[in-house]
A and B are shown apart, each in its own frame.
With several copies, the nearest count.
Chain A
């Protein structure tokens, strides 16, 4: 059965989600991965969005936003941002989440704010970026609050960096016990699902290493596309291909074929 790399990535992300988790989704790829998990193997997933939309599944295609009518047609509750991002996320109550990243570094710090010729931490000042991105949205809240969370990112050297331009959402900061010393209630990112494979944090150093790669690539290619000296697990695995069942479920969620259009 044929499938796109984006579909493979979504399925791979979905597999990281366990049944009954209290989980918050951002819009786009993360949402598709999440609702795929719910349909596929996690029927009791308690999913919600940043604005406080509960009990719903998308209708009529990928929602254009987390407050799109496509996610509002069959909700059991609409509350508000303080509830979703405050009471459920910042409090430490939510189990899991899926966020995106424009840049991610070896300690799982995420940048979704901007790109600089000389980033603030290097320049020692904060000037207008060369490229403005979106800001953190709820991802920064997720990064400090959720018990753990998943990062999805396109695996390119300019995106997988030794150090991101701007930390929008804190991962393990400088690594080691640095995050712990900050006192965040949440545990930090448990995996980076990239277009090439799965990276996980070393329990001690918190540096992300390659745990598994997709069958269409190689370890060398993954390393080439990584901006730091990527360590590889001794028992590195190949990510199992999506099953026919998984693809069927994913495509039920991705009604309008968002993941097929974008390769």
Chain B
């Protein structure tokens, strides 16, 4: 098996490009999301992204705020109790970002259909409402019949809808822990990371922790993302910050509100990026920026016990660095 550890810079350089179809797994508005990866994409100046996700998150909020998102297909674009996604909404209202709405269930099924390589997925939702009739890709047609066209059930002759399936170029998937080969365990809801990992052409894992493969052999039923489909593993503790990662840390309430507030204007977004995105390169710098006190606070999570069974297999930073260096040769 191949050691797939890779720096976040190299992963973004290798697996992202302008105009790509990008999935930010898990794409949870409050929970696990590969946010650090998105920040690195901002740093490397990616643009014209075609983003597909069931939910928005601070990653998409940021990418849209800096003008990198040309088009997005989404089920829910907000930040739940943290409010509307100010950066994304600014981009949508200004016409900078085209938005194609679906339901969350529809997005999950479209990933399933992509993983199956199906021509279409039967649609029993997003039909007979404006999710069917309104298409950002065909704004002059109302009601639009091309976004979710009709399909006839050959058994009954009844009409249903048909969803387009999703086959992203790359998914950057946040996981709780991975081994160096790309086997991964997620704690908390999967959302559609399982299906996404199979639907995507390339898969980059962004892992809060790296564990020995023995951990996978003890808990094979927990390993829902498999090395067989993974291209790169980025080790990045607190990768979902300011969002949460069950078992490891809670969302950073102050920063969630603050970040969203800063996305409201172009000027504030720039200021935010200067301070929080472009100011770090190493993981040490990233951690210093968040600050020791904050790290301690969010790490006091009520879900910490969920990590207990796996702690003995955690690799140390020094060991991971060594493995990363060995790979470079």
Contact = CB atoms under 8 A, between A and B. Distances in A.
A140 B217 contact: no
Given A113-B101, A140-B126, A87 B134 contact: no
Interface of A: 22, 27-28, 44, 46, 48-55, 59-60, 62-70, 72-83, 85-93, 109, 113, 120-121, 123-141, 143-145, 166-170, 173, 182-185
Contacts, number: 294
Nearest to B28: A67
A169 B135 CA distance: 16
B105 interface: yes
5 contacts: A28-B80, A51-B188, A65-B31, A65-B79, A128-B93
B205 interface: no
A141 B131 CA distance: 11
Given A76-B223, A80-B194, A125-B142, A170 B128 contact: yes
Contacts of A77: 183, 216, 220-221, 223-224, 226
B320 interface: no
A126 B193 CA distance: 31
B164 interface: no
B188 A78 contact: yes
Contacts of A173: 128-129
B238 to A, nearest CB: 14
A66 to B, nearest CB: 7
B198 interface: yes
Contacts of A50: 104
B84 A132 contact: yes
Given A81-B105, A82-B112, A90-B105, A185 B84 contact: no
A83 to B, nearest CB: 7
Contacts of A60: 302
B84 A137 contact: no
B117 A90 contact: yes
Contacts of B254: none
Given A79-B190, A82-B109, A82-B112, A130 B84 contact: no
Contacts of A69: 31, 244, 246, 250-251, 301-303
Nearest to A65: B30
A228 to B, nearest CB: 19
A126 B77 contact: no
Contact of A185 (B95, B109, B124, B198): B124
